[in-house]
Structure 1
């Protein structure tokens, strides 16, 4: 149980930090504006995604099952979409592997969350 709890907190922390950093970078880094154009996305989508990732980074810690599950689902869709977008435009392996790695961390967080007793992470039904 202790290993599961540690794994949950580490992976969820990594996801949250990554999403907070991504949100900040999407809004402040001009190279990411170009990257979204390169992938064929409109500029408003970059801002939308920054806001969504920021909210998910917070919501993933909240003790409300529906909010937490929505965060996991939204982030998973975001990472799968990033993988597909980079493959479609023919980007190098790094740009495809990076979202795969983050998706794996997200899945580990999700699985370990569901293995913990309800009282550990404030699961509410």
Structure 2
């Protein structure tokens, strides 16, 4: 149980930092805006994506938020990581650097998701 808690908090904190804190601090930089433009998305998409990432990260890290809401946050991040992988692949071709981050982030998310369910196995939705 202790190992599961440690894995949960480490993986969930990493998702919180990578998908909540970093976008909140860097989304309006010129590099971030250029990244959104490079992929062919309109500027408002980056703002919207940042808002949802921050809300999703907060949802995962706060224990009092209902499990059903957390499920939606996990699904949203999974869709985000898959879309990032596909977007970079479609625009840049298969370049390890661009595709590696979403795959690693998805692996971390999966660890968080599995350990979340192990910790809450005795409590139904």
TM-score by length of 1: 0.89
| Poorly superposed stretches of 4+, deviation over 4 Å | none
* 1:66 counterpart = 2:48: no
> Is 1:15–1:106's contact at 8 Å kept on the other side of the alignment?
yes
Question: Matched residues in 2 for 1:66 and 1:117: separation?
Answer: 12
Query: What 5-or-longer segments of structure 2 have no aligned partner?
Result: none
Give me the CA root mean square deviation: 1.6
Deviation of residue 3 (structure 1)? 0.8
Paired position in structure 1 for 2:100:
97
Matches within 5 A, 1:47-66: 47-62=47-62, 63=64, 64-66=66-68
Q: Secondary structure at the match of 1:57?
A: helix
Deviation of residue 124 (structure 1)? 6.4
Matches within 5 A, 1:1-16: 1-16=1-16
Deviation of residue 110 (structure 1)? 0.1
> Is 2:82–2:102's contact at 8 Å kept on the other side of the alignment?
yes
Question: Matched residues in 1 for 2:70 and 2:61: separation?
Answer: 7
Question: Matched residues in 1 for 2:98 and 2:29: separation?
Answer: 17
